[in-house]
Amino acid sequence: MNIQPSVIVWTVICFLLLMVILKNLLFTPVLKVIDARKEKVDAAEKKLKDIENVTAENERRFAQEKVRAEAESVALAKARVQEIQSQGKKEIENAQRKCLADIEEYRKGITGEYDKIVYSVAPKMETAAAIFAKNIISNRI
């Protein structure tokens, strides 16, 4: 077992040559692929965060729009209810006026009919009263 300097020198030279070849042919391309992959992963994570932010913003806007739309719907419904109530009140007032006019017309008609009946019966009342009195007197005695 002798130490041979030439073998040591050639071993070191071969090792260094192997390291240069492996660095250029293996390590550098593999590191480039790993770096490219890391950049893609970082870009995908950034896109995911952006999408999550946009989604959260859209959900917040949706909630705000929903609340605004509901408030607007309630306001429109209240306005419509008030409009319907005022129309109903007007219709009731018109119906009341018509009913009062009809009642007054019927009263005048009834008064006229009453006067006709009284004037047509009045001359006959004396005769009817006399006959009635005669019947009462004759039945009691």
Task: Dig out the tokens for 14 from the structure.
Answer: 């071969």
Q: What is the pLDDT of residues 51-75, one digit of tens each?
A: 999 999 999 999 999 999 999 999 9
* Domain ranges (residues) in the chain: 26-141
- Cα first-last separation, the chain: 182
Q: What is the pLDDT of residues 16-53, one digit of tens each?
A: 999 999 999 999 999 999 999 999 999 999 999 999 99
Compute the distance between CA of residue 21 and CA of residue 29 in angstroms, rounded to an integer: 12
Compute the distance between CA of residue 15 and CA of residue 21 in angstroms, rounded to an integer: 10
Q: What is the pLDDT of residue 31?
A: 93
Q: What is the pLDDT of residue 78?
A: 93
Percent of the chain with pLDDT over 90: 70
Whole-prediction pTM value? 0.45
Q: What is the pLDDT of residue 141?
A: 52
Compute the distance between CA of residue 27 and CA of residue 18 in angstroms, rounded to an integer: 12
Q: Is the pLDDT of residue 111 over 70?
A: yes
| 3-state SS track over the chain | CCCCHHHHHHHHHHHHHHHHHHHHHHHHHHHHHHHHHHHHHHHHHHHHHHHHHHHHHHHHHHHHHHHHHHHHHHHHHHHHHHHHHHHHHHHHHHHHHHHHHHHHHHHHHHHHHHHHHHHHHHHHHHHHHHHHHHHHHHHHC
Compute the distance between CA of residue 38 and CA of residue 1 in angstroms, rounded to an integer: 50
